[in-house]
A = this chain, B = another copy of it.
Amino acid sequence: MTDIIMKDYTLGIDIGGTHTAMAVVDTEGNILCRATIKTTDFATFPKFVDGAAKALKKSVKEAGVDFRNVRSIGIGAPCVNVDTGMVEGAVDLPWPSPIPLKDDFSEKFGLPVGVANDANAAALGEMFYGECAHTDDFIMITLGTGVGSAIVTDGNLLQGRKGFAGELGHTFSRRHHDRLCSCGRYGCLETYCSARGVVKTALDFLDTPRHSSLKQIDPAKLTAKDVYMAAEAGDEVALATLRLTGEVLGEACADFAAFSSPETIVLFGGVANAFPYFIDSMKEAFERNLLWIYKDSIRIVKSGLPESDAALLGAAAVGRSAFLRQRKENRQI
């Protein structure tokens, strides 16, 4: 009986420009049921909230969960101002800003709602359900199309003014360099360690007489995954590319360590799949560049969260965090 009463569930919502993924998640981070709606199908945000509510209620039922045991909702979305719970200036979403994300979902469901930038949500997932559970101080670096990051210190996600903290992909790896970044500047970490950065490094290396299976691929179509697969097959250019990726990342992470003194650096995203091929050079560059007080004390790991579910689990973690906070506050009154 106690068991049934103690059960609680969170609804995770990951709002993207095209699709919105939703899930019913238990306290261990298991996804019990999923749903997807098309974000662009809804002309206004209130209509979207109605549509999401309908899909979520159906999912809760399908999961065999009593709706009374759903305790919270967590939402990851682009450009969330965590102070106001509003989305501000998200060009990817089809509705005008500001969007009252937190208030409207809270009103619709009568439940505690937590919101986070989608880039930060995965870190909260990591903290609740992943490699960094029980770790108070870590930095999560997402090596995807770009390089994102989220910093957890003293058990809290570092937000900063407007929740804009943790843009580590846009710190300078190579000052006064010629690699143009998506942000318009040159030499950002992202220009080396994102999927695009890996391709750029490979193309630089291919522009030499070296033999490589990658030369058979149209340079305009080369992907980081091609580089990773070539590395798996022992291709020297691909291996050198990933070694340099690791070296640049290790150097940058040594600076990041001096900022927040993390216990762990956790790597996530598509490029992190090449972990076995860049971790040695990364660790070597990391330790070589670390200030002595941090040496040999910081773990570097690959995230254990399933990539396809991380955003959803992250959103759920944000919701669960809001629920736990509210419960704590209620007890203190």
CB nearest neighbor in B for A138: B161
* A174 to B175 CA separation, bound complex (whole angstroms): 8
Are B172 and A263 in contact, CB atoms less than 8 angstroms apart? no
Question: Which among B153, B170, B183, B251 is the interface contact of A160 at CB below 8 angstroms?
Answer: B153
Cβ–Cβ < 8 Å partners of A160 in chain B: 137, 153-154, 260-262
Query: A305: CB under 8 A from chain B?
Result: no
* A33 to B87 CA separation, bound complex (whole angstroms): 51
Are B163 and A158 in contact, CB atoms less than 8 angstroms apart? no
Cβ–Cβ < 8 Å partners of A297 in chain B: 161
The segment out of A4-12, A21-29, A37-45, A285-293 that lies at the interface is A285-293
Size bracket, chain A contacts: 35 or more
When A153-B160, A159-B154, A160-B153 are in contact, do A172 and B289 touch as well, CB less than 8 Å?
Answer: yes
Query: A235: CB under 8 A from chain B?
Result: no
Query: A133: CB under 8 A from chain B?
Result: no
Interface digits, A172-209 against B, CB 8 Å rule (1 contact, 0 not)?
10110000000111000000000000000000000000
A-B contact pairs, 9 of them (CB 8 A): A153-B153, A153-B159, A161-B262, A164-B261, A168-B258, A168-B259, A172-B254, A174-B175, A185-B289
Nearest first, the 9 A-B pairs at minimum CB distance are A160-B261, A164-B261, A167-B258, A165-B261, A332-B332, A171-B255, A170-B291, A161-B261, A160-B260
